[in-house]
Structure 1
Amino acid sequence: MNNERILLVSRPKGTPAMSDFRYEEAAVPELKGDQVLVKTIYLSVDPYMRGRMNDTKSYVPPFELNEVISGGIVGQVVQSLSSDLAEGDFVIGNLPWQKYNVVNDISVRKLDSNIAPLSANLGVLGMTGLTAYFGLLDIGKPQEGETVVVSGAAGAVGTIVGQIAKIKGARVVGIAGSEEKTAYLKNELGFDEVINYKTDNVFEALKAACPGGVDVYFDNVGGEISDAVLRLLNHGARIPVCGQIALYNLEKMDVGPRIQSQLLINSALMKGFIVSDYAAHFEEGAMELAKWLMEGKLSYKENIVEGFENTIDAFLGLFKGENTGKQLVKVAEPENV
């Protein structure tokens, strides 16, 4: 059986290009021990992966050159030597970007495909949803009647953050980059106010949308948008720092306003976090997200790109704002077993 996989072959300078990657074929090794052969059904592309393409210190090691890139994958077991996983079972794990992976059974987790569509396990019920859940509730701690601002609000994390804030009774202002996205946030997800950073004066629009100031700022983007939000902080404001997508492709260190005085005079808390910080509580978070989903309190949107050969295009699309909600690649159809 032949396999297809994607390797990183050069470290991007600025925005990644197709030439930084290579598709190649390889043989699938024979199973041994408690291994299973997993056929990739859905593959997740995420902004954090851009940071792993740099050879710099971070919270996870960088991707190695001329090695297969890895990320979140939902797949189906098509061969098994495991006593815990049978052919036909659906699983999730952080696996190499390949059409097929041979893995030990303990490196993947079995999924219940009756709770939600398979793809949801890479989004609202997966790392995306858990990132929103823990970052907002543990660091942001939104209270009823407070104002929560979310940047990157139409992205996979931002859409869930805004909805959880509404569940907690907060007033939610979202910042996104198109009329289609702002309409979705307001009309379908119930955001109270939305700002289009490409057409609006962000600071002036924020002042109008947040007349009582900002109590919680969930920061997905950094850069000038965050500079504008931080000028409107209330006393005791909380700022979970989730991502900085506006900065990921810069070739030089970003230089912006010094924010320490804003934090000091407002007794504000700014804290960066990684979802793995909360690994011990993932089950709790996933159960709460699933409950809200089944109760109709959470909805989600996916942008699904068809075909393994389009994986890099889907990844690059993240930096062009092409996705509303979770960006996924559908690699194959599940098999009937």
Structure 2
Amino acid sequence: MPVNKGIVLASRPPAAGKASLANFAIFEKELGEPGPGQVLVRHEFLSLDPYMRGRMDEARSYAASQEIGQPMIGGTVGEVVASKNPHFAVGDKVVGMGGWQTFSIDDGAALRKLDTPGVPIQAWLGALGMPGVTAWYGLNRIIAPKAGESIVVSAATGAVGSVVGQLAKAAGARAVGIAGGAAKCAYAVEELGFDACVDHYSDNFDADLKAAVPKGIDGLFENVGGKCFAACLRRLNDFSRIALCGAIASYEGKETTSLPDLRLVLVKRIKLQGFIVSDHLDLWPQALRELAGLYLAGKLKWRETIAEGIEAAPKAFLDMLEGGNFGKQLVRLA
């Protein structure tokens, strides 16, 4: 029997405080055979995403909190190595929510077989997976960009933001990113095709943002919150649209995210909509087809930061929350 190794949540972070390595613990245990209708999956890659930080807290949210002593939640891709489910055969590549562990036993209900030639398997955790669908939904269904409009996205070189900018350009809009550091901003412009990118570490951030959007902001895809969000709000045009996807600046108690005087929203007739991509599973097949088609046509790019081994997951996760990753944060497990 294979030995499963993984990471559990050992304790919750302090209220309004930072998570630390002490909140995680490693485990090892022998796995049994899959039961009737089940499959045994060996994970090849694990996805690390900001939403996981919210699950570590006990506060009420859109999903249940991560249980103490249980493997951390997380998306995985891997290979079926044993099957008692007629819908899956040994050797099938699958994507699912296997968690922070090297193997999982699954009933197959939430597993999806991967059968698109020419696509790297880990892409289904990034630009062609949940982050890509998040970008697709927020941009197309909430912001709905028109040709010539200015669309701003924070965390512009991350797994979600990088796709937002490229989809905005494909729609004929002007894409402006916000990212941390000169290297990330250069990548957004030179590799991803953004029209401009503003470094939020700059002492002149407000002035730089104003220069990057001389005609104001028509659509804002917000991943970060905090000072970036506040600065963008001051640049919004009449009838602008905000897709509120995340507020990572406030996850670790670093900054607060709040609205200005609501008269701004009223006077400028701003549309502000928060969204959770799992509420829209009916649209995932369409989004995934379109995203994969763009990649295969050479029109969708991404970058990855890959940590090696399950033991590296906690530190890679904490580093990601501080902006230490470049592109999609993954852990290679096999």
The interval holding the TM-score normalised by the smaller chain is over 0.9
Q: Which amino acid aligns with 1:8?
A: L
Confirm or deny: 8 A CA contact 2:303 2:328 kept in the other structure.
yes
Question: Percentage identity across aligned positions?
Answer: 44
CA RMSD of superposed structures (Å): 1.4
Q: Which amino acid aligns with 1:6?
A: I
SS at match of 2:49: coil
Confirm or deny: 8 A CA contact 1:76 1:89 kept in the other structure.
yes
Partner residue of 2:180 out of 177, 188, 198: 177
1:29 CA displacement: 2.3
Per-residue CA shift, 1:253-288, capped at 9, x if unaligned? Answer: 936452412211110101000011211111011111
Q: State how far apart, in whole Å, the 1-side matches of 2:133 and 2:110 are.
A: 19
Is the aligned partner of 1:110 residue 2:87? no
1:200 CA displacement: 4.1
Q: State how far apart, in whole Å, the 2-side matches of 1:145 and 1:234 are.
A: 14
Partner residue of 2:267 out of 245, 265, 268: 265
Which segments of 5 or more consecutive residues in structure 2 lack a partner in the other structure? Answer: none
Confirm or deny: 8 A CA contact 1:148 1:165 kept in the other structure.
yes
Q: Which amino acid aligns with 2:150?
A: T
Q: Which amino acid aligns with 1:116?
A: V
Which segments of 5 or more consecutive residues in structure 1 lack a partner in the other structure? Answer: 333-337
1:205 CA displacement: 1.0
Confirm or deny: 8 A CA contact 1:242 1:273 kept in the other structure.
yes
The aligned counterpart of 1:127 is 130
SS at match of 2:249: coil
Confirm or deny: 8 A CA contact 1:90 1:113 kept in the other structure.
no
Matches within 5 A, 1:64-143: 64-112=67-115, 114-143=117-146
Matches within 5 A, 1:91-240: 91-112=94-115, 114-240=117-243
Segments ≥4 residues shifted beyond 4 Å = none
1:103 CA displacement: 1.1
SS at match of 1:67: coil
Per-residue CA shift, 1:285-323, capped at 9, x if unaligned? Answer: 111111111112111111111111101111111122111
Confirm or deny: 8 A CA contact 2:249 2:256 kept in the other structure.
no
Normalising by structure 1, report the TM-score: 0.95
Q: State how far apart, in whole Å, the 1-side matches of 2:74 and 2:310 are.
A: 14
The aligned counterpart of 1:292 is 294
The aligned counterpart of 1:3 is 4
Q: State how far apart, in whole Å, the 2-side matches of 1:203 and 1:214 are.
A: 14
Matches within 5 A, 1:310-325: 310-325=312-327
1:106 CA displacement: 2.2
The aligned counterpart of 2:56 is 53
Instruction: Report which stretch shifted further, 242-251 or 161-170.
Output: 242-251
Confirm or deny: 8 A CA contact 1:5 1:26 kept in the other structure.
no
Is the aligned partner of 1:12 residue 2:13? yes
